[in-house]
Amino acid sequence: MALSILLFLKFLPPELPLFYSLPWGEVQLATLKQFLIIPASIILITLLNLILSWQLHPSQSFFKKALLLSSLVTTLILIITFIKIVFIFI
């Protein structure tokens, strides 16, 4: 995703809408550096879930699968969010 930000850099405006929970207007806009929050969140959540999964006993396979599923769902949601925001401007 970070690589796609660099590839689409010439097509993207200097500020992108990211903070939709804030009131409408300029407060919702984020710089391209702040837009890297999305890939950083994916990496952080995935690493955290992997570390937790490694710490679990092999007999706790349900919790390992739950951590994997939560990582996949979170990653999917964040990738869809990223794509929707980028395709507004392309």
- Show me where the domains of the chain are located: 11-77
How many angstroms separate the CA atoms of 7 and 64, rounded?
35
Q: Is the pLDDT of residue 2 over 70?
A: no
Q: Is the pLDDT of residue 15 over 90?
A: no
Instruction: Compute the average pLDDT of residues 16-45.
Output: 87
pLDDT in tens, 37-65: 888 999 999 999 999 999 988 899 999 99
Please choose, from the candidates 11, 16, 4, 7, the residue with its C-alpha nearest in 3D space to the C-alpha of residue 90: 11
| Confidence (pLDDT) at 34 | 86
How many angstroms separate the CA atoms of 86 and 53, rounded?
33
What global pTM score does this model have? Answer: 0.79
Is the pLDDT higher at 6 or at 78? 78
